[in-house]
Amino acid sequence: MHQFSAPGDPAEPARITDDPRPPEPRAAEPPAGPAAGTSNPAIGGLGTGRSPAPRPGRGGPGDRLRRVAYVTAAGDAAAEDDEREVVLAAWLGAGIEGVPVAWDDPGVDWASFDAAVVRSAWDYIDRRDEFVAWARRAEAVTRLFNPASVIEWNTDKTYLRRLGVPIVPTRWFEPGEELDLPGWAEYVVKPVVSAGARDTVRTADRAAAEAHAARLLGQGRAVMVQPYLESVEHEGELSLLYFGGEFSHAVRRRPMLAGTESGHPLATLRDPDDDQFALAERTLSAVKEDLLYARVDVVRMPDGEPVLMEFEVTEPYLFLRTELAAPELFARALAARL
């Protein structure tokens, strides 16, 4: 039988910070660049993980830079990753040499890194099981952020049913189950393993929604069906970004399924309301693993209640170019864990 999740589902009490307001903006210090006469070989290409000779670090003469894999994808899959050089520069300023490597490159020696950070591994959708297996192997020989256990549950959107926070009303269907959609004005139909609106349909036609869901189920894929929320047309989605559990910044994102071109930028900085911030904190508190990075996507229901749309802790885009202090905060959070 399908299951139905809706805002206000019972949940265990969650820790919420005493002061739900985000911290005052901090002035960003420019990250330290490479020493004179040196360059960062990580920027501009993919590495192999083979260890170079020790290089001076920030701890004193003879200390080496800590080497961290910036986990990406090969070929065109990560072509839209415009945050890579920003991140690598910030890491270098914190004494970390970032080396871009493809997660599925068999020649990478993961044990040669002090840690591996999943970033733009955006080609795993059709190979989720392989991706999860890679995460377990990498974590067996180095520190992996975020942990393999997180990657496993977060790459299947059924995790939304288990967080214990209000979410968009959702009908869940497994292959072999009978489709029974409610009478919503518009439907959003997508597989539970997807990203970037891939294989996602928005339609006001119930028959079309059922047909798309049936096609996905016929391929052996579990399906989720939600109502389209008109609030995203004028308010958009609010994404709250965290590094090491510390709030960094929030952006208002243009809706991906609006069907119009507004001419506005992809995202603009915005201060979250108290209830949105409280929901993000509650969501983070539901996860026991240590999260280096997290993105909490929130929308409002027609009655104004904030609900969780997505909790992105695998390979989220971090909107680092919208907040000058964010790359440094990311780098500091990583350095504190090495």
pLDDT at 54: 45
Strands 115-118 and 293-300: unpaired
pLDDT at 226: 96
87: three-class secondary structure by DSSP: helix
CB atoms inside a 10 Å sphere around CB 226: 19
pLDDT at 53: 43
pLDDT at 45: 60
Q: Where along the chain do its domains lie?
A: 169-227, 231-335
Block means of pLDDT (10 residues each) for the chain, 338 residues, are: 44 36 42 37 53 46 81 88 97 98 97 98 94 98 98 97 96 94 94 84 95 95 94 87 98 66 66 98 97 97 95 97 96 98
- 231-335 in CATH: which number? 3.30.470.20
Please state at what angle helix 326-335 crosses helix 84-93, rounded to 10 degrees.
60
Residue with tokens 């256990």: 149
Measured between alpha carbons, how far is 79 from 37 in angstroms, rounded to an integer? 29
pLDDT at 34: 38
pLDDT digits (tens, 9 = 90+) for 24-74: 444 444 444 433 333 343 334 676 665 444 444 444 444 679 999 999 999
Contact between 256 and 201 (Cβ < 8 Å): no
Contact between 5 and 170 (Cβ < 8 Å): yes
Q: Cβ-count burial of 198 within 10 angstroms (0-12 exposed, 13-18 middle, 19+ buried)?
A: exposed
**Alpha-carbon Rg for the chain in angstroms:** 21
Contact between 98 and 87 (Cβ < 8 Å): yes
pLDDT at 294: 98
Contact between 43 and 300 (Cβ < 8 Å): no
40 preceded by a cis bond (ω within 30 of 0): no
Contact between 192 and 224 (Cβ < 8 Å): yes
143: three-class secondary structure by DSSP: strand
Q: Please determine whether the domains at 169-227 and 231-335 fall in the same fold group of CATH.
A: no
On whether the 169-227 domain is CATH 3.30.1480, my answer is no
Measured between alpha carbons, how far is 168 from 301 in angstroms, rounded to an integer? 8
Please give the order of strands across the beta sheet that includes 3-5.
3-5, 170-173, 223-227, 187-191, 201-203
pLDDT at 48: 61
Residue among 127, 206, 199, 140 nearest 171 (CA): 206
Predicted TM-score of the model (pTM): 0.80
CB atoms inside a 10 Å sphere around CB 144: 26
92: three-class secondary structure by DSSP: helix
Contact between 318 and 303 (Cβ < 8 Å): no
Measured between alpha carbons, how far is 192 from 169 in angstroms, rounded to an integer? 15
